[in-house]
Chain A
């Protein structure tokens, strides 16, 4: 019984946090791209446009959902739900941190630990195609159909190198449970090089990491692989006919997929919640330091503001940052917050890379995309897997 309650609580927390993060991820994206392109980005709604996501959500919910004529309404409505469902469900096996003890109860910062977790994620991600394909097909529109076909073909093609790239670190970790995999990456070589799978093992998994990231871009239909929703040739592809909440759910699905993929990359290659350098070298003080810095900057800018509102907003942020930093120095919470921090830091960095790339790279041509998958990425992944397996066999 207690188990159920705890699980329910965890679900509630994770769902809330995740959805908020998704909403704000979009804000971050807009901001970052704006600054890359030397713009301000959203800044009207709330200080620095911080309330923009909220506004968007309200707008999307309150808008009228238009259903085009002659569509197969059941599938038309089913598709977005499938998409978002498949995107969100895979979060459930991802561990965010170590054990967490509240009073008498201890639990993991993870909904559940399948001992075939990775396979589960692969399975779910392979199911994710249906949402898009159905959306494309059911909305009775040639652009949408093309987008749907493209995206399903693309996702299937890129799933192979992705799976292969996942397989080779598994060879080293020797387990399919994400928790086990992360635990196997604890510790340091030579005292300072972390035993992450990117560095460690008989064969550093740097190549599979790169392959995985590339495939991840394609899996999440992000630039430079965003042909399914190529605005200027397919007028937004498979979700061209969708509006309001259904459209929003596709968006959510995309961002949720990004989060999932980034956290998998973190867990598989970047050592999950293990800090970048050992605790005895003071890795625990890294986070508070940053937060202090951020707080200080905020305070400073608050004292001599560039915009009228900053006088009030920035100091508030500064206080918040200081508070967080203090919390991270507070001994009882350290063992809980540190892993969380490191995990989120790595994950966030990868997400930033996603945004960054989107702001930087142009789009592939479709034949280039497929050719790259089958002629470039797939053989590379295969070779990497072979070499890894060979070396692992030698090492064992």
Chain B
């Protein structure tokens, strides 16, 4: 069962991620990114992180990506035109990436080969209650700081996006 779920949603995630990269239209990329996020959210659920999963949907898929789509619509960004890639990408891009991925996977295999198994329901620490507890006791200061960060971000966004008064 766990295998089935994992493989299914991992497949969806990877396919949509590939889609994000290869699609030439921003909207298409955005939608596939939403797909990635959704499937990742399901994987979170499987990993016992209910709250985070929902937050993932609400924050990422629901708010951030909406912003993206907004901007794309506002700028009416069309499909990307093909042109000669920059030399870095041409020469190094693909091989470097493959090497990168290979190395990482190798290390994961080496370090975490027997890091234990994920079985649905073997970890129930991700309930809204426990997350909230951790957030408001051990991580209170970071939490506050983050709120300040958000505030500043809002101000910055407003300042940047408002039309000049002249």
Contact = CB atoms under 8 A, between A and B. Distances in A.
Asked whether any CB of A lies within 8 Å of a CB of B in the complex, the reply is yes
Interface of A: 72, 75, 78, 114-116, 119-120, 122-124, 126-127, 129-130, 133-134, 136-137, 145, 148-149, 152-153, 156, 159, 176
B51 A156 contact: no
Interface of B: 25, 27, 31, 34, 50-51, 53-55, 57-58, 61-63, 66, 69-70, 73-74, 127-128
B73 A127 contact: no
B128 A116 contact: yes
Contacts of A133: 66, 69-70, 73
Given A137-B27, A145-B73, A148-B73, A119 B58 contact: yes
A123 B69 contact: no
A243 to B, nearest CB: 23
A219 to B, nearest CB: 13
A126 B54 contact: no
A335 to B, nearest CB: 31
B70 A122 contact: no
Nearest to A136: B73
B57 A123 contact: yes
B35 to A, nearest CB: 11
B69 A130 contact: yes
A130 B34 contact: yes
Contact of B73 (A123, A149, A159): A149
B73 A122 contact: no
A303 B58 CA distance: 57
B69 A176 contact: no
11 contacts: A75-B31, A115-B50, A119-B51, A122-B58, A123-B57, A133-B66, A133-B69, A137-B27, A149-B73, A152-B69, A159-B62
Contact of B128 (A75, A119, A130): A119
B157 to A, nearest CB: 14
Contact of B63 (A72, A153, A156): A156
B56 to A, nearest CB: 8
A115 B69 contact: no
Nearest to B57: A123
Given A130-B69, A152-B69, 15 more contacts: A72-B25, A75-B27, A115-B50, A116-B51, A119-B50, A119-B51, A119-B54, A119-B55, A123-B61, A123-B62, A129-B62, A134-B69, A149-B70, A152-B66, A156-B63
B59 to A, nearest CB: 9
Contacts of B128: 116, 119, 176
A168 to B, nearest CB: 15
A115 B25 CA distance: 38
A176 to B, nearest CB: 5
Contacts of B50: 114-116, 119
Contacts of B55: 119
Contacts of A152: 66, 69-70
Contacts of B34: 130
Contacts of B62: 123, 126-127, 129, 159
A238 to B, nearest CB: 12
B107 to A, nearest CB: 34
Given A133-B73, A156-B66, A127 B54 contact: no
A144 to B, nearest CB: 11
Contacts of B57: 123-124, 126-127
Contacts of B27: 72, 75, 134, 137
B73 A126 contact: no
B54 A122 contact: yes
Contacts of B61: 123, 126-127
Contact of A115 (B66, B70, B127): B127
Nearest to A125: B62
Nearest to B126: A116
Contacts of A149: 70, 73-74
A116 B54 contact: yes
Nearest to B65: A130
A171 to B, nearest CB: 11
A72 B25 CA distance: 11
A159 B63 CA distance: 10
A27 B53 CA distance: 39
Listed residue (B51, B55, B62, B128) with the most chain A CB atoms within 10 angstroms of its CB: B62
Contacts of A123: 54, 57-58, 61-62
Nearest to B61: A127
Contacts of B54: 116, 119-120, 122-123
A370 to B, nearest CB: 14
A252 B53 CA distance: 28
A164 to B, nearest CB: 13
